[in-house]
Every structure is written in structure tokens, then in C-alpha cells.
Amino acid sequence: TRDVVAWRSADLVALRRSHLAYRPLPTAAGRSRGRRARPRTVLPGLPSGRTAYRHLADYDADMTALAARDPVDVRAFTLPHPSLEGRPIRAIEIARHVQANDGRPVFLLMGLHHAREWPSGEIAMEFGIDMVNRLLARDPRVTDLLSRARLIVVPVVNPDGFAISREAPGSASLDPGLEWKRKNCRVVDGALPAPGACEAASALTLGTDLNRNYGGLWGGAGASLDPRGDTYRGAGPFSEPEAQNIHELVSSRQVVTLVSNHTYGNDILRPPGVRDVPTPDEPALAGLGSEMASAAPGYTSSYSYGLYDTTGGTEDWTYWSTGGLGYTIEIGPDLGGDGLIAFHPDFASIPAQYFGTDGAGGGLRESLLRALASTAGTARHAVITGAGQPGSTIEVTKHFRTATSPVLDADGLAGPVQTFPDTLDTRMTIPASGTFADHVNPSTRPLLAGRAGRSAHGPLTASSSFVSALDTTSFNGSGDPPPGSYHDFPFTVGPGDDDALATVRIQWPDSANDFDLGVWRKEASGPDTLVGSSAQGGTDWESARVLPDEPNGSLAAGDYYARVYDYDSTDKQFTGSIGFSGPTAPVAPRTEAWTLRCLSPAGTVLGTRSVVVARGGHADVGAVCGPEAGPPVHVRARAGRVSLDRALQYGFPVKVRCSSSCTAAATASLDGERVGRAPATADGRPVSVVRVLFTRKARHRLAHRRSVTLGVRVRAVGPGDGRGTATTTAVLVARRR
């Protein structure tokens, strides 16, 4: 028996994968399995005042309430695709004068990709509430940041899975084991679930892992091919509506910073998701990661693969294909035991995560504020400036094909790369000043920006485990060991071979049997080091890559062994091989441009530019809208307060005041959906009144409401050729009398 110290979550992952029997020991702070140490100080209450985990309806209610409290700065909206069981997936956008169609950069914060990870949604929702509270209190720091940036919060990406997980504890109708549901409700690939199918106890392990379903690098290592596997990648890239929602949201916004919350491990993780050479933006990614980690006691910043390999994750697409900096926050420590309790520990632990264990102004709140501050700055994204007719639209687009990983087949062998069409399309309106600043991601996607390879130290030479360069040594395992036992197969990496990558693979005839694989490096002192592992289940193969300790480093020379575990087999027969490949070739850099167009209100193209701009850079496109633009028009609008009964029957008036004669039209929206409109009124006067009429669907929807607050968007077009256009917003409050 030995005592082992686990310094970080990756050490605990390695321990669990080792198949060694172990039990957690009490720490000096008195922590034992399932019990946390008490905080050293009394922490403030959460911004919402909550003392228990939310249910799904609580998230919807909180977002609706925030938009009603501050309709000028908060917009609640529904993402395009409902979940597989038909639930809406909701979000809030927070910014000073949120309805303004300007070019501010976006910070996207998400929770509950994985259903059982309840703190991931709580931290996201509390941060949104905190920001609104501080905006209303005119907190100078938050007011400044949200004047220069936008915050979008999607607290529940996976509402179906979360609803099942959250309602399972103590439920008379749901199996309590469903509390640990991780994935979405895709019971059968390509089909909607039958009523109740996802709630069956037998469906606990079914579904797609949404955080392996994003299209960029989909299908590679770190994702399962088994629909019952925890990390099942799904039938294809972006096959799930929940992942499609985030894809389309990011594609239509300049999301320069993204954080996806998960549990657990006290980690702030950055790309790459699989061990490889560093990203071309490693200084920027590491810098912000360290800033966030230093604010939260106990958190560390590291590469994503330091926890385990992943492909098809959120940042696999958002970083590599859009250039926005992306992170995963693994909230909370490992509490020991089988780890399940750490996915959603007692709610009493949430304030300590949010405010920091010492309550001294740190914690994840400060981490996220630093991410918001990075978004509001300009050092980690790019800015395009120019001039044009007020009211014209600046469109920034890019069309390309996104590549998956070489897609692993059922035997774990890499097949061809798949590609699919991708589009980034963002728009802003030129303000009354006639000049604009559009905050964008760098024009060259990181996939094209170039990456260094691994330098060769010389050809592979003979050793005890392989014959020559790029050759393979086979081994066979047999016998009848009891379950849990293992065989070790040694191999050596010589001093001249340390530029190599090794792949250890085992295979057996029947997938009903299950072997696991670990690869260890022998150490001169102390315990041996786990350098690769594979434990999937449901396959007839396992494959583990053995790579350098650092992304651009070398595979350490020395003695290694592949350890094959009999996890659950009857015939005990398997074959295996240890293969070696040489260094990675560098990727030559390429330059890519944004296509920028200026559009009139009627959609006429007034000017086009090809814009190349780097991270931290600035490009000025000049008078992109051309000299033929009409004279400027400025507009103000007022809606005020009206009787809801009368408004539903006759509509409501909006008073429009233009700087010159104009034609005005208006639309009214509730929670991001249009509920009424006023056709263009062409009376040719500077001051006019337009009447907004509710749609039939809206009248039915609002028939039993006692009050409603609507956003009203007014578009005014000046005289002449119609290019002198401006927009403004107003707020209507309607109550029953």
C-alpha cells in the first residue's frame, strides 16, 4: 500500500484509468469522501439570492425577468432549433443599449452541455444576473465593459438531458439513476425520441455527447463510436440541434471570447483538445487562461488534452474555424470516490466557486469579468474601421469548408477527412456619426495560420521493441487471468528515437469481450508515469497514442510498457502492436481575408473591400459606401405607456421625429420574437405617428397577460434615393386598466 498525492485533476484521471484499487484519505483540512471543507470565511449570497439548484423552468423565468427589469440593456431570445423533445433553448444578451445594431465584440458564456453538471448552468446564470444587477446600480467597471462589449449567456444548452437529470432525485416517476444522465436525448441516430423514451432507465447511457458533436475536428481521438459511451460523437458533425444552435449563434456574431462551463477539476482549459504542436495563438490563449485562473483560488490553466483527449468539442470548431479564443472551465474540485458527487455537489459549494473560497473578490466571477474585459479590449481580436452613410449596413462574411479529423471507423482506424460548407456572416449598422468600428476575429483562421512541426533528431533505430523506422512489433496475449489482472509488454525508445510518436493498439475477435489499455513510462525514482490510455467499451479494439510531454517537445527516451487489462472477457485472446512514426511536418502559413460589403437599406451593394487583419490589428477601409450615398437622417421615437386592452384591439402609436422629411416603419418584439408591425408611412414630414398592430398570434398570446413590456424598432428613410437611413429603438409598457 502506498500513499499517492494527486496535484491536479489529470492525476486523478490517470489514477482512475490505472485500474488500481484505491481509496481517498482525509486531508489536513478534514475533507473525506463526499464532504467538503468548510470555507474559512462567511461568503456573500449569490446575486440571485438562490439557495438551491434551479430547475429548467427557473432558468426560463430568470431570463424573462431580467429582460423585463432592464429592457434597455437586456434582451431574452430563443435559439433557432428546439431540442429533440421540442423544448426551446433560451439565451440572454446583455449590453448597454442592447438593441443597437453596432459592431461591439461578443463574449459567449454557456452551461449544461452535459446534463448532470448542474453548477455549469448556475455559474453562467448567476454571472448574467450579477451583470444586470451591477448595470442597474451603475457599477462603473461593469457599465464600462458592457458599453464596449456584449455578453450572451446560454445557461442550458441541453434542456432535455438537464430536465431529466434535475427531476430524477426523489422523483416518483423517474429512476433516481437518471440524475447522472450526461448526454442529450438522441435515443436512435437520425430519429426523434418517442414520448418517454429518453426517461427510461435503460436510456441513461444513450444519447449524443454534445461536446463531441461540433463539426471542427469531429470524429477523431477522444470521442466514442458507441452510442452508450459517455463521449459518443453522434451520427455526424453537428448532427444534433443543440450543437447546431451554438454553431449558428457563433456564425452570426463576432464571438471573440467563448467559455463553456463544465464540472469538475478546477481547470481552465484551452486548445488544443488533442496533444499536438501548440496553436498559432498560444501566447494569447495562455495569457487570458492564466489571467482567469489566477483569479479563482485552486484553479490552474492548462491545455485541454492535459485532462484527456477530445475532438468535436466546442472550441474544436469555434477556435480553429472562427479564430475566437475558446475555453472550458471545469468547475469545482474532485471530491473523491467515484467522482459522481463532484458533477453536482451540494449547492452550498456554489458561492465559494463564484466568489472564491476566501471571499476576497476573486473566484469565477472575477475570472469571467477578466474574460469580459479581454473581450472589450482590442489586444486579442481585430478592428475594422471606415466611413459611410448612416443607416447603411456593414456586412463581414467568409465562406469556406470546415474539415473534420480523419474519421475513426468501427475498428479505430483513421479514415478520410470529411468537409462541410461553413459561413461566418455578421452585420452592423453605421451610426449617425457616419463612421464605424467593427470588432472582428482575425481574418485568417487558425487552421490556416501555420504551425511548427517537430524537428527530427535522426531516423528511428533498432531497439528491443521494434526493428526499424516506421516498423511494427507484434505481441500476443493469452491465458486465463482473473478479471482485473493484466499483462505487461515492454518496449524501449532509444536516445536517437525521441522524435517519434508511438501508437499501441490491441484487437480481439469479439466486441462482447472488453480489454483496456494503458501505456506507462518507467521512472528511475517514484511511481511510473501514465503516458497513454484507452478504455472505450463496446468495441473490439483499443488504441493509445504515446506523445511528447509537451506539444512541441520530444518523446522521452527510456523504457516503457503497454499494460493490457482484462476488464470483462471470456476467451482472453487478443493481439497487439506497437507502431512508431516520425516527426510532424510543419503547416505552411496562408493568408485569408474577410469580405466586407456596404449595403443600402434596400440591399444594394454600395461598396466592397477585401480585408486582411491580424489578431490585435486594425484595418481602415475608408469610405466603403461610395460617394453616391444620400444625405444623413437622424431619428428619435417614443412609445410610452398605453392600455393593453386598447392596444390589442386597435394597436398603439409610436411618435417618430426625423431630422428631415422621412418615411418611417416600426416593428415590435417580445423576447426576441416579432409580435407587431407598422407599415411604412410616407407622409414626407419630419414628425409623424405610426401605428403598430399586433399579429393574431400575439393577440392570442397576450390575451391573459396583465402587463407587457415590448421593444419597438423604428427605421426611418430620408429623401432622395433612400440611402439616408437610420434606426432607433423605443420601449412600450402596456397594462390592463
Q: Per-residue confidence at 465, pLDDT binned at 50, 70, 90?
A: very low
Amino acid at 342: A
How far is residue 508 CA from its own chain's centroid?
37
- Taking residues 490-514, report their average pLDDT: 70
Strand partners, 692: 652
Cell of 314: 466546442
For the residues 695-707, what does the mean pLDDT come to?
A: 87
In this predicted structure, what is the pLDDT of residue 560? 86
Mean pLDDT confidence for 689-703: 87
Residue 470's pLDDT band, with cuts at 50, 70 and 90, is: very low
- Enumerate the β-bridge partners of residue 445: none
pLDDT at 552: 52
**Sheet of 514-521: strands edge to edge?**
486-493, 558-568, 514-521, 529-534
Mean pLDDT of 3-13: 50
Q: Are 392 and 103 in contact (CB under 8 A)?
A: no
DSSP string for residues in 674-693: EEEEEEEE----SEEEEEEE
Of 408, 413, 405, residue with least CA distance to 214? 405
136-to-96, 140, 151, 242 alpha-carbon distances in Å:
10, 11, 15, 32
Which residue type is seen at 136? Answer: L
Q: CB neighbours of 604 closer than 8 A, spacing ≥ 6? A: 723
DSSP letter, residue 723: -
Span 138-154, average pLDDT:
97
Phi, psi angle pair for 586, to nearest 5°:
-70, 155
Reduce the DSSP state of residue 188 to 3 states and report it. Answer: coil
Non-local CB neighbours of 553 within 8 Å, separated by 6+ positions: none
Give the 3-state secondary structure of residue 234. Answer: coil
Handedness of CA 600, 604, 609, 611 (dihedral sign): positive
pLDDT in tens, 111-134: 999 999 999 999 999 999 999 999
CA distances from 577 to 195, 309, 519, 587, 693 (A): 46, 21, 12, 29, 72
Q: Is 641 in contact with 735 (CB distance < 8 Å)?
A: yes
Pairwise pLDDT comparison (36 vs 548), residue with the higher score: 548
Mean pLDDT, all residues of the chain:
83
Q: Please, are residues 487 and 564 in contact by the beta-carbon 8 Å criterion?
A: yes
What is the rounded distance in angstroms from the CA atom of residue 543 to the CA atom of residue 533?
8
State residue 337's pLDDT score. Answer: 55
Q: What's the confidence (pLDDT) of residue 526?
A: 85
Q: Looking at residue 32, what is its pLDDT? A: 32
The β-bridge partners of 262 are 330
- Least confident span in 15-19, 69-73, 158-162, 165-169: 15-19
- The single-letter code of the amino acid at 41 is T
CA distance 168 to 53: 13
H or E stretch including 259?
Answer: strand 255-262
Rg over CA atoms, the chain: 28
Q: Cell 503497454 identifies what position? A: 562
pLDDT at res. 665: 84
Average pLDDT for 230-247:
96
Which amino acid, one-letter code, is at 561?
Y
The type of residue at 10 is: A
d(CA 657, CA 680): 14
Q: Higher pLDDT residue, 499 or 471?
A: 499
d(CA 227, CA 586): 35
Q: Say if residue 180 is exposed, middle or buried (CB neighbours under 10 Å; 0-12, 13-18, 19+).
A: middle
**CB-based contacts of 437, cutoff 8 Å, min separation 6:** 103, 383, 384, 385
Distance between CA atoms of residues 393 and 494, nearest Å: 62
DSSP label of 661: S
State the chain's maximal CA–CA distance in angstroms: 94
Residue 608 pLDDT > 80, yes or no?
Answer: yes
Give the C-alpha distances (Å, rounded to integers) separating 697 from 75, 675, 676, 700, 701: 21, 8, 10, 5, 6
> Distances from the Cα of 534 to the Cαs of 224, 437, 563, 582, in angstroms?
11, 49, 11, 22
- Residue 556's alpha-carbon distances to 494, 523, 548, in angstroms, are 9, 11, 7
pTM: 0.75
List 633's β-bridge partners, or say none. none
Residue 59 near residue 163, CB atoms below 8 Å: no
DSSP helix, strand, coil percent of the chain (3-state; round to 5): 20, 30, 45
| Rounded-to-integer distance, Cα 638 and Cα 381, Å | 37
pLDDT at 159 (0 to 100): 98
Give residue 525's pLDDT: 87
Query: What Cα–Cα distance (Å) separates residue 340 from each residue in 24, 277, 707?
Result: 14, 33, 44
Of residues 165 and 222, more confidently modeled: 165
**Residues near 680 by Cβ (< 8 Å), separated by ≥ 6?**
663, 664, 665, 717
Q: Which of 418, 421, 417 is nearest to 406 (CA)?
A: 417
Please, is 538 exposed, middle or buried when counting C-beta atoms within 10 Å of its C-beta (0-12, 13-18, 19+)?
middle
Pairing type for strands 106-110 and 255-262 reads: parallel
User: In this structure, are residues 399 and 423 in contact, taking their beta carbons and an 8 Å threshold?
Assistant: yes
What 8-state DSSP symbol labels residue 222? T
Q: Give me the pLDDT at residue 309, please.
A: 79
pLDDT score of 42 more than 60: no
Q: From start to end of 331-471, where are the E strands?
A: 382-387, 393-408, 414-429, 435-440
Name every residue whose Cβ is closer than 8 Å to that of residue 641 and which is 6 or more positions away in sequence.
732, 733, 734, 735
pLDDT in tens, 294-322: 999 999 999 887 777 789 999 999 999 99
Of 128, 137, 1, the closest CA to residue 67 belongs to 128
- Cβ contacts of residue 204 below 8 Å, gap of 6+? 175, 177, 178, 180, 181
Among left, alpha and beta (phi > 0; psi -120 to 50; other), residue 443 is alpha
User: Cα dist. 447→323, 380, 390, 422 in Å?
Assistant: 9, 17, 36, 14
| Whole-angstrom distance, CA of residue 181 vs CA of residue 175 | 11
Tell me: the pLDDT tens digits for 521-532? 899 888 888 777
Question: Per the structure block, which three cell numbers stand in for 277?
Answer: 504542436
Least confidently predicted of 280-294, 598-612, 671-685: 671-685
